[in-house]
Amino acid sequence: MARKKKGDPISGWINLDKPYGMTSTQAIGKVRRILNAQKIGHAGTLDPLATGVLPIALGEATKTISFAQDDIKTYRFTIQWGEQRDTDDMEGQVIAVSDHRPTREDIFALLSRYIGEIQQVPPNFSAIKINGERAYDIARDGDTPELKPRTVYIEELVLLDSRADDADFEMTCGKGTYVRSLARDIGNDLGTKGYISSLRREKVGGFIAKNAISLDILGEMDYFSARSEYLLPLQIVLDDIPALDLKEDETAKIRNGQALNFVSRPNFERLTKIGLGKKESIIALATHDGAPVALIEQTRAEIKPVRVFNLTK
């Protein structure tokens, strides 16, 4: 007999405001206990010294984590001038110094260099794997990990304020962009050194900081109230893909893993045309009476389920 899983099979998203000094893993552990959730995950690690939006997926919503991870993100951060640290944030050891301080005009003139697709080397203290070993483990052992440049995308980079020894920025970027690497590179390009002294994630797709819930407030509530007030629907991360409402018999087939012939439904043909090229070849969210049923894709003349949602009523 299979052992009963601990917790309740609840599904949806929590828009958490991660506190300073806590790892993302610790944060989701606390949310799991507060909500008595069976299954949980998160869409994008935040460093312990960072605060802000940490989208947490519960139950069947974990099947949609990749969509949140791929969403555009917005960060606000401060770069401290004059020092380079081995972690590229204030937690690390000082490894280089500079007396030079950039002017506001110097910074403005540089920012356009970082817009669009750029090459970026991840921080030595990062979770990137090199021959099966994490870069931060190599760095902690006193060695320098051989990290290759990666293509990342920055949509917008704005200087918010500039002072003698530091400056505040806001950046909107794509998946895989390291703010710590950006601080290091900006410092070098300005003829000085720089590291992140504060970092806050303001937005991940539809998850916005002003609507995020803190662990303190969540922890003061019983889990029924917390679920009722702060649990967001699974499909909140699927707004950018088409939705197809299925008939009852079609829903049963999709839930059983069977394919549907899209020629029999005129809008299936239209759906295929507008859906091609979407993430992981998925072209639509299948629903029934407005409730999510599955993520579906096209194969030849058929629509087939890729991920079926087993939602409890």
Largest CA distance in the chain: 72
pLDDT surpassing 80 at residue 244: yes
Residues 6+ apart with CB under 8 A from 20: 48, 49, 50, 51
Position 268 scores a pLDDT of 58
pLDDT in tens, 150-190: 999 999 999 999 999 999 999 999 999 999 999 999 999 99
Q: Is 97 exposed, middle or buried (0-12, 13-18, 19+ CB in 10 A)?
A: exposed
The share of the chain scoring above pLDDT 70, in percent, equals 91
pLDDT surpassing 60 at residue 1: no
Residue 183 backbone dihedrals phi, psi, to 5 degrees: -60, -45
| Distance of alpha carbon 11 from alpha carbon 209, whole angstroms | 21
pLDDT in tens, 79-112: 999 999 999 999 999 999 999 999 999 999 999 9
Active site residue 47: yes
Instruction: Choose, from 8, 17, 47, 89, the residue flagged as catalytic.
Output: 47
Q: Which domains does the chain have, with CATH numbers?
A: 12-71+206-236 (3.30.2350.10), 73-204 (3.30.2350.10), 241-308 (2.30.130.60)
Other residues' Cβ atoms within 10 Å of the Cβ of residue 239: 12
| Distance of alpha carbon 130 from alpha carbon 122, whole angstroms | 12
What pTM value is reported for the model?
0.89
Direct distance between the N- and C-terminal alpha carbons of the chain, in angstroms, rounded to an integer: 25
